[in-house]
Amino acid sequence: MNIVENFDLYAPRLVDKEEYFNAGHRACSGCGEALAIRLMCKALGEDTVIVNATGCMEVISVMYPTTAWSLPWIHVAFPNAASVGAGVEAALKVLRRKGKIADRRIKTVCIGGDGGTFDIGFQALSGTMERGHDVLYVCFDNEAYMNTGIQRSGATPFGASTTTNPAGAASQGKDEWKKNIAEIIASHNVPYVATACHSYPLDFMNKVKKAREVEGPSYIHCLSVCPTGWRVQTEDCIKAGRLAVETGVFPLYEIENGKYTMSSLNPEELRPVEDYLKLQGRFRHLTTDSIEKIQDRIILENNKLLDKAENLHSWAELEG
């Protein structure tokens, strides 16, 4: 990686020192999602309204009478963060038009877990994206309904053991593949979609900043490591996120007005998926056959993605 050419990604002075998601919340130790929220808030700045679907981040951040948030924040039901976001955005527009608030851009940002995004909040999300609201939706994907006890979601990967599909004599964990939510949102013809992970903080923050500037709907899918649900050592949170990218389990890319661009942090060559799986207790039971099946699927999915990306036609073409 050329640090000079990629100065924007590496310059530490670009990180805002101000905290909008403060210490003292009740997230599990090593929580990737809490770290990602903190980084997201720094990139968004103070002119932001957060609409938070029920989930871990709501539960851990607002233990009455305290709050970790230094931004206007509203908690909404599990299924409707995107609808409430659309309402907030419309209300801000009217208030500005009537001169009741300052004439400057305030961004509405909806946040939800994978359960609240892939599954139960999907209808609201799809509507908000399709209607073209000026809303950024960030999904913090920890790959299960974590706050209620690690139940499987549409985001849980094939083979993972959860409390609703526990691995055992009769089961190898989840039998279905993960939904490709970034593709589904991109099919709504929104101006900006990106994948990101807290293990690459500046890349994530740059994508948030970019999405903030979009006039219209935008979506960021942030892989968020959950040491509790993934059965990962807390000190391995960042490592697990990096391995997801290095093995091609979670490629980093952007879709701007339909144009795919692979992010420069993807690896030159994919590592074997086993490196990623063996770090996590939720995959401990997998047989060699299942691991091979997962590996084949990763190659298939990554090739499909590379075919769409205009800046890259093989992993080997990436700059070191």
Q: Residues in the site for ligand TPP, rule: CB under 6 A? A: 54-57, 78-79, 112-116, 142, 145-148, 153
CB of 193 to ligand TPP, least distance (A): 19
Phi, psi angles (nearest 5°) of residue 37: -65, -45
Nearer to ligand TPP, 79 or 217 (CB): 79
Distance (Å, rounded) from C-alpha 305 to C-alpha 186?
13
- Shortest distance, CB of residue 180 to ligand TPP, whole angstroms? 17
Beta carbon of residue 253, minimum distance to ligand TPP (angstroms, whole number) = 22
- DSSP letter assigned to residue 13: G
Q: Do strands 192-197 and 253-256 pair parallel, antiparallel, or not at all (unpaired)?
A: antiparallel
Question: Nearest approach, Cβ of 306 to ligand TPP (angstroms)?
Answer: 29
Closest chain position to ligand TPP (CB)? 113
The nearer residue to ligand TPP, 147 or 263, going by C-beta atoms, is 147
CA distances, 37 to each of 48, 236, 247, 286 (Å):
13, 18, 24, 32
Residue 51 CA to residue 42 CA, distance in Å, equals: 16
Q: 264: which residues sit within 8 A by CB, 6+ positions away?
A: 1, 6, 9, 318, 319
CB of 38 to ligand TPP, least distance (A): 15
In the bound state with ligand TPP, the residue whose beta carbon lies nearer, of 14 and 184, is 184
Only one residue has tokens 């939706």, namely: 137
Q: How far apart are CA 3 and CA 246, in angstroms?
A: 19
Q: How far is the CB of 143 from ligand TPP (least distance, A)?
A: 8
Which of 30, 115 has the CB closer to ligand TPP? 115
Distance of CA 230 to the CA centre of its chain: 16
Query: Which lies closer to ligand TPP via its Cβ, residue 248 or residue 282?
Result: 282
Lookup: tokens for 218: 């935008």
DSSP one-letter string for 62-131? --TT---B-S-EEEE-TT-HHHHHHHHHHHHHHHHHTTSS-SS--EEEEEEEHIIIIITTHHHHHHHHHH
Which of residues 142 and 172 has its CB atom nearest to ligand TPP in the complex?
Answer: 142
Contacts of 267 (CB under 8 A, 6+ apart): 245, 246, 248, 315, 318
Token pair listed for 97: 């038009």
Is the CB of 160 or the CB of 270 nearer to ligand TPP? 160
Q: Which residue, 59 or 291, is less far from ligand TPP as judged by CB?
A: 59
Q: How far is the CB of 33 from ligand TPP (least distance, A)?
A: 6
Do strands 259-262 and 253-256 pair parallel, antiparallel, or not at all (unpaired)? antiparallel
Q: How far is the CB of 94 from ligand TPP (least distance, A)?
A: 29
Shortest Å distance, C-beta 31 to ligand TPP: 9
Specify the residue, 64 or 310, whose C-beta has the smaller distance to ligand TPP: 64
